[in-house]
Structures are given as structure tokens and as C-alpha cells.
Structure 1
Amino acid sequence: MQNSLTDNPDVPITAPKKRGRPKCFDEQQALERAMLLFWQYGYEATAISDLTQALQITAPSLYSSFGDKAQLFKRCLDYYLEHEACPTDLIFKEAKTAKAALELLMYENAKRLVQENKPTGCMLVVATMNCSEHNQPIQHDIVSRRQQSKLKIFKRLLQGQQQGDLPDTVDIQAMTDYYTTILQGLSLQARDGASLAQLNGVVDHAMQTWHSFIGVKA
């Protein structure tokens, strides 16, 4: 006598669905730890074993959650830009003039380059300084991100011209090149051990140069 549906041969028996293994770690915390490693040691010098040890997960779990090392690095760059990098958009939006915008950007950057208990320098500058040919796509990606930052400076200076606080005769491309170079140089100086006072001193002189671009004596 058949006493249940499963006893009926005409009813197909479907195996119970297996549940995926739940993640046993905080993904955002893992990204922060991975970011700090890449920021401190660079992309190529950071091995998968370093990452799994810092994140306290197995290599299969890392690959399952983040993909390969390159994909994890890109996620870490996104995390860095969101949580650690200077809030350029906010600074540029709130600054009354182009000069104030650049000045605030540079001083805020200087503070973030020498944070206590954090790697020194900007991750976008120091994390891929020496990449092999095999990792050129990573290098190209980070160069592209730096170019985006440079474009923001150019657009803010252009806005200054349009709003009348920068003369139309000013070469804003030259200004963009100059202040971008200063910002990247500050990052390397911080990595080499420069103090915040030293970095601020560089910013002081860089802002004095502003007058030479617009043809006004300081």
C-alpha cells in the first residue's frame, strides 16, 4: 500500500537543493585588510598567501568571493577611493574659488598621506610603481584613475575661469600639470618619511606659485 507521494513511482523525486556555504567573514573588513596590504607593499609584492593570512580565509574562499588577485586589487582601489582618499568632489563643490579648491585639496591630501597607523603615500601612486609586463593591465587601470583625478583639477580650474576668479588668459592646462605633479611628489615624499610639517611647507610654496600663473605678484 502506498502511503505517501514518494511511494508513487509516477511522481518524480527531486533531491533537496543544497544551500551555498555561507560566508564566514565580513567582506568590507576583508577589503580593508587587503587594501592595507596592497597600499603598503604594492601589487606585485603582495602574494595570495599574504592576503589569505591577513584576511584569515582560504585561497578558494578568496577566489570565490573576490575573483583573482587582479580583481581583488581593483576592488581595493575602489574601497580606497571611497574611504581613504581625499574627497576631491566635495572639496571642489564647497570651495568658493578655484584657488581655495586647490589649496584645500593639497592640504587635505597632505594630512591623508601621513596618517597614523596607515601606510604612507597615496595608494594610486605607490601601489604599482614597478609592474612587470605581465601586469601592465593593472598599471594601465591605475594610470587611468590618476588621469581622472587630474581631469577633476582641470575642470575645477576651468570652472574658476567661467566664474571669473581666474583670468581667461591663464593656461589652466599648465596649472593642472603643475599641481598634479606637486600632489604626486607629496605622496613619494611621504613614503620616504617626510613629516606633515614638511609636506605642508611644500604646499605653502606651491600655493605661492599660483600668483605667477595669473601674472600677479604675491
Structure 2
Amino acid sequence: MKKATGELQRGRGRPRCFDQEAALERAMVLFWDRGYEAASLDELSAAMGISPSSLYAAFGGKEQLFRAAVDRYLAERGSYMGRILAEEPTARGAVRRLLETAADELTRPGQPPGCMVALGGTYCSPGARPVQDLLRGYREVWHAAIQARIQRGLEDGELAPGTDAAALATFYTTLMLGMSVQARDGASRESLRAAAEAAMRAWPGAPSGPQVSS
């Protein structure tokens, strides 16, 4: 049976009449701002405008809610990486645009500073290991995607033979994750863009002729 908009069915019982997407959005923002463990169930249910029992019935529990919130974050705020890596014609241009976009997104007004995937599982207790593993997995996917784009640039002759694509990817991924911490500490968009510009000056060139520009 097709569910009505904003209404979730509860077996044979009465429907839960709340907007699940809006509730999930509010939970995502709280997790993003506080992190997984610091966001209590009472705070989550209050932010979502539902009771703790409704939270469990709709999402299955705090960890399941966090996973759904991360999926929402990646589909919306964190969706730019794949697009940038695919669109830019050079690896250097892709990394530069990625860092500049990160500087903008990590400091965007009206939302928590920093990156939910970078910061949401920091300083968790051993019981939250599945959440830490989840977020680490996404960060590893990001590193692999950047490395693959750099490797393609190497194969296209954009970089000198022997360039360590893995090390270069680690360098720029580390910078991007560090920018998230800096944003949470109050760094401005301008300072993060300046850091990105400084990092791009470390980009290695081709073995002869001018470096590929972007």
C-alpha cells in the first residue's frame, strides 16, 4: 500500500503523523553540530518534534538514525566531491576546485561548521565503534576517489613519471579533513581558501614544459 506523504504506517496500529524527512533533517543538523555521542536521545527527539518511542519506531534507534542522517548529509551537503572529480578536465583542477569548494561549504552560514563525516564520530566510546567505522569508511572512499583522479592525471602525462599518487592523495585529503577542524574552531572562509592556495603550490609538475594550469 502506498504511504501518504508525511505519514508512516505502524503495522496495524495508527499512523504516525509527522514529516519523516523534516524530522531526519533536524536530526542530521544536531548530529552534525554535536557529534554522535554528544547528541542525546532526548535532545534528538526534542529537535525532531517527536517522542523517543516514535523515534525508535520510525528509525530503529540512535545508531540507525545516525546512519540515515549521514546518508542524507552525503546526498546533499557532501555530494560535491564526486561531481567535481568527474567534471574537471585535469587532476590539478579537480583538487583545486575540491579544496576551494570545501572551504566554502565548511563555513557556509546557517549550518554547523565543518564536515559531519570528518567530525561526527570523534572521541566516541568503545560502544560507538560501528559509527566510527562507518565514518572512517566514507573517508577512505574519499581518499581512494582523489587518488584515482590523481592516478589518471599521472597516466595522462599531467604529472612526472614516478609521482606517488597515493602520497599526494593523502596530503590533499589530510588538508581537506584538517580544514574541517579549522572551520569548527572558527576559521574564516578566506583563511581556508588561502590554505588551499598554499597547498596547490606544492602540486608537482610534468617532467618538462609548463605545469598544467587550471
TM beyond 0.5: yes
8 Å Cα contact 2:157-2:206 kept in structure 1: no
Shift of 1:166: 2.4
Shift of 1:120: 0.3
Distance, in Å, in 1 between the alignment partners of 2:109 and 2:134 is 28
AA aligned opposite 1:31 = L
1:41 pairs with 2:34: yes
8 Å Cα contact 1:86-1:109 kept in structure 2: no
Distance, in Å, in 1 between the alignment partners of 2:126 and 2:168 is 32
8 Å Cα contact 2:161-2:207 kept in structure 1: no
Distance, in Å, in 2 between the alignment partners of 1:101 and 1:191 is 24
AA aligned opposite 1:207 = M
1:153 pairs with 2:163: no
Distance, in Å, in 1 between the alignment partners of 2:169 and 2:163 is 11
Cα deviation, 1:83-130, whole Å, max 9, x if unaligned, reads 111411111111010000101111011111011110000111111110
1:80 maps to which residue?
73
8 Å Cα contact 2:158-2:206 kept in structure 1: no
Distance, in Å, in 2 between the alignment partners of 1:201 and 1:166 is 24
1:68 pairs with 2:57: no
AA aligned opposite 2:130 = P
Shift of 1:72: 0.5
User: Which SS does the other structure have where 1:147 is aligned?
Assistant: helix
2:203 maps to which residue?
210
Distance, in Å, in 1 between the alignment partners of 2:207 and 2:47 is 53
8 Å Cα contact 1:110-1:199 kept in structure 2: yes
AA aligned opposite 2:23 = A
- Any residues of structure 2 matched to 1:133-152 within 5 Å, and which? 133-152=126-145
Unaligned runs of 5+ in 2: 1-10
AA aligned opposite 1:35 = M
Give the total of aligned pairs: 200
AA aligned opposite 1:168 = P
2:178 maps to which residue?
185
1:53 pairs with 2:13: no
Distance, in Å, in 2 between the alignment partners of 1:214 and 1:153 is 19
8 Å Cα contact 1:52-1:58 kept in structure 2: yes
1:23 pairs with 2:16: yes
TM-score normalized with structure 2 length: 0.88
Q: Residues 77 and 52 (structure 1 numbering): CA distance in 2 closer, same or farther, change over 3 Å?
A: same
Distance, in Å, in 1 between the alignment partners of 2:90 and 2:76 is 26
TM-score normalized with structure 1 length: 0.87
Partner residue of 2:101 out of 102, 105, 108: 108
- The percentage of aligned residue pairs carrying the same residue is 38
Partner residue of 1:168 out of 158, 161, 170: 161
User: Which SS does the other structure have where 2:16 is aligned?
Assistant: coil
Greater Cα radius of gyration, structure 1 or 2:
1
AA aligned opposite 1:27 = Q
